[in-house]
Each structure stands twice: as C-alpha cells, then as structure tokens.
Amino acid sequence: MREKTHIVILIVLVVAFALVIFLSPIFWMVLTSFKEKGEYFTYPPVFISRTFDLNHFARGLEIGGRKGITDSFIIASLATLLSMTVGALAAYSLARFRIGGKNLAFWILSIRMMPPIASVLPLFLFYRFLHLLDTYTALIITYSIINIPFAVWMLKGFFEDLPAELEEAAMVDGCGRFGAFYRIALPLIAPGLVATALFCFIFSWNEFFFALILSRSRITPVTVVISGMIGGHEILWAEISAVATMASLPVILIAIILQRYLVRGLTLGAVKG
C-alpha cells in the first residue's frame, strides 16, 4: 500500500518522538555517570557534565560494582549452562518421542507461570535448612528452575521445526540415538540454542527478587548491589549510574544479537514472530 507523503512524515515524527521518550531515561543515566556531585545535585539540572569524569566507573567498581558484576556473571553463566543441558534433553524428548503428550509439556510450562513469591518462601526455608543461603549454589539452582521450563519450551519449538529424517538417516548409518541428538540435531538448531541460552542469561542477570532474598553479604549480584547503593543514606548517583550502565551494557548487546528471536523468546514461543 502506497502511503501519502504527509502521512508518512507524521508517522515518522510520532515514532521519533516515542523513541526519544523511551530512550531518554537511559541517556540520562549514562550522562549522570559522568557528572560531579555538584552537577547532579543542582537546579536547573546539568545535562552534559563539564568535567566528564570517567573515574566514577572505577569508583563504582570499587564500592561493590566489581563484586556484583562478577557474581552475576558466575551465577548467570552457570544457571544458563545447567538449564540448557537439562532443557535440551527434555525438549528433544518432548519433540521427538512426544513423551507425556501435551500434558507434560504444559505442566513444565505452568511451573514458569507460578508467581515467584509463592516459590521463594519454601525455597528460602529449604536453603536455610541446608545452610545454602548466601551461596552461589542457591541462586544457580533457583535460576535454573526458572529457566528450565523456558528452555524446554523454546527448544521444543526449534526441534519440532527440524525434520526428523536427518536424524533417522544418521541412525541408519550406525549413529545411536544420543549420537543423532548430539551430532545432528543440536548443531542444526545452533542458532536457536544460542538464542535460548542468551535469554536464560538475561533472565538470570536481570533478576532481583530472588537475588535480594537469597543473598546477604558473601554473594551480591549486581542488581542487589545497585538497589543497596540507592538504599544507602548518601546516594552517590554518579557511581550508581556508572554501575547501572555497566550492568546494562551486556544486556543491550545481547538484545541486538537476539533481534530475530526476541518475540519468540519473550512470549515463550506463543507468538513466533
């Protein structure tokens, strides 16, 4: 359908305006991270810092940022690895053998729908009993049970899109079922595998609720670090913004990589996009 020029211009203006609204708070954060103390506590607000002090990034890392980012990275990576391994096996079983029919698959999905507040209480007591509070293990296990249903549901879709003939041919040639899965099916869904893993990583990286409850002082994921800094009695906005910027960077990069799979991932495969 051809559009009239003035309509196109109007739409472009509206979209541009919306884009400004949706991006300016993020810009504000990045700008704040360069500001001196006098510049973020002043009226009228200073938009661009005169000093452009990059030291806030170093100081932000020093006062908890480095530990936070490291902890988040360890937890998110291991939780992703665990949920992808378990998830890929289960997804393959559901897609190829149709084990448990629709019910099993749906049951797995429904676990993800549970409100976190309902599962955090028994998990907290469980970890307390095992003396696992404030450890990597507790958060890795927790994020895995959030991510496994997601990984299963996503990967099931990717396996189903894959014709079974290839694996059957490989098995005729003497490849076992596990070989067919490991050597044929997995490499063929590699893009889907990467997309799912990146999603699991983002979910774990961004998570705050479980992190807040299951961590104390030994383990401090970056989300907990940021919220702790804001709760403090003197708020160092430049340092906080610097840490927040650094915590957002990996996610922004991943979002750009994920472009093609975003819709599928964000709706658990309900909308294929």
Partner 1 sequence: MGKIQKIQLNFNLEKHMALIFILPCVIILISISVFPFIYSLFLSLNSWQLATGGAKKFIWLANYGRLFTEPRFWNSMWNMGKELIFGVTSQFVIGLLLALALNRIFRTRSLITTLFLLPMMIPPVVVGCNWRQIYHFSYGPLNYILRLFHISNEGLNWLGSVKLSMPSIIISDTWEWTPFMMIVLLAGIQSIPVDLYEVARVDGASRWQMFLHITLPLLKPTIIVVVLIRVMDAFKLFDLVVLLTQGGPAGSSETIAYYNYLVGFKYFDVGYAAALAYIQLIIIIIIANIFLKFMPGEERKK
Q: Measuring CA to CA, which residue among 44, 46, 18, 42 is closest to residue 31?
A: 46
Tokens coding 119: 């599962």
The answer to whether the CB of 32 falls within 8 A of the CB of 241 is yes
Measured from the CB atom, is 53 or 90 closer to partner 1?
90
Query: How near is the Cβ of 55 to partner 1 at its closest, in Å?
Result: 19
Sequence-ordered list of residues with C-beta below 8 angstroms from that of 228, at least 6 positions apart, any chain: 64, 220
Q: Which helix (H) or strand (E) holds 231?
A: helix 222-231
**Is residue 176 part of the contact set for partner 1 (CB under 8 A)?**
yes
Q: Number of residues in contact with partner 1, rule: CB under 8 A?
A: 96
Tell the residue number behind the tokens 């990045």, with chain if given. Answer: 30
Measured from the CB atom, is 119 or 188 closer to partner 1?
119
Measured from the CB atom, is 10 or 54 closer to partner 1?
10
The answer to whether the CB of 150 falls within 8 A of the CB of 200 is yes
**Is residue 20 part of the contact set for partner 1 (CB under 8 A)?**
no
Figure out which of the listed residues 101, 117, 129, 172 binds partner 1, where binding follows CB under 8 A. Answer: 117
Measured from the CB atom, is 53 or 72 closer to partner 1?
72
Contact region for partner 1 (CB under 8 A) — 129-137, 138-146, 162-170, 183-191? 138-146
Query: How near is the Cβ of 254 to partner 1 at its closest, in Å?
Result: 8
The answer to whether the CB of 91 falls within 8 A of the CB of 148 is no
Under rule CB under 8 A, which residues in 29-48 are in contact with partner 1? 29, 32, 40-45
Query: How near is the Cβ of 58 to partner 1 at its closest, in Å?
Result: 19
Query: How near is the Cβ of 231 to partner 1 at its closest, in Å?
Result: 8
**Is residue 206 part of the contact set for partner 1 (CB under 8 A)?**
yes
Under rule CB under 8 A, which residues in 47-106 are in contact with partner 1? 85-87, 89-90, 92-94, 96-97, 99-100, 102, 104
DSSP assigned state of 259 = G
Under rule CB under 8 A, which residues in 235-264 are in contact with partner 1? 237, 240-241, 244, 247-248, 251-252, 254-256, 259, 262-263
The four Cα atoms 112, 113, 118, 123 give a dihedral, to 10 degrees, of 0
Is the sign of the CA dihedral 151, 157, 161, 164 positive or negative? positive
Figure out which of the listed residues 166, 169, 190, 266 binds partner 1, where binding follows CB under 8 A. Answer: 266
Query: How near is the Cβ of 117 to partner 1 at its closest, in Å?
Result: 5
Ramachandran class of 100: left when φ > 0, alpha when ψ lies in -120 to 50, beta otherwise: left
Query: How near is the Cβ of 203 to partner 1 at its closest, in Å?
Result: 11
**Is residue 28 part of the contact set for partner 1 (CB under 8 A)?**
yes
The answer to whether the CB of 84 falls within 8 A of the CB of 151 is yes
Q: How far apart are the first and last CA of the chain?
A: 22
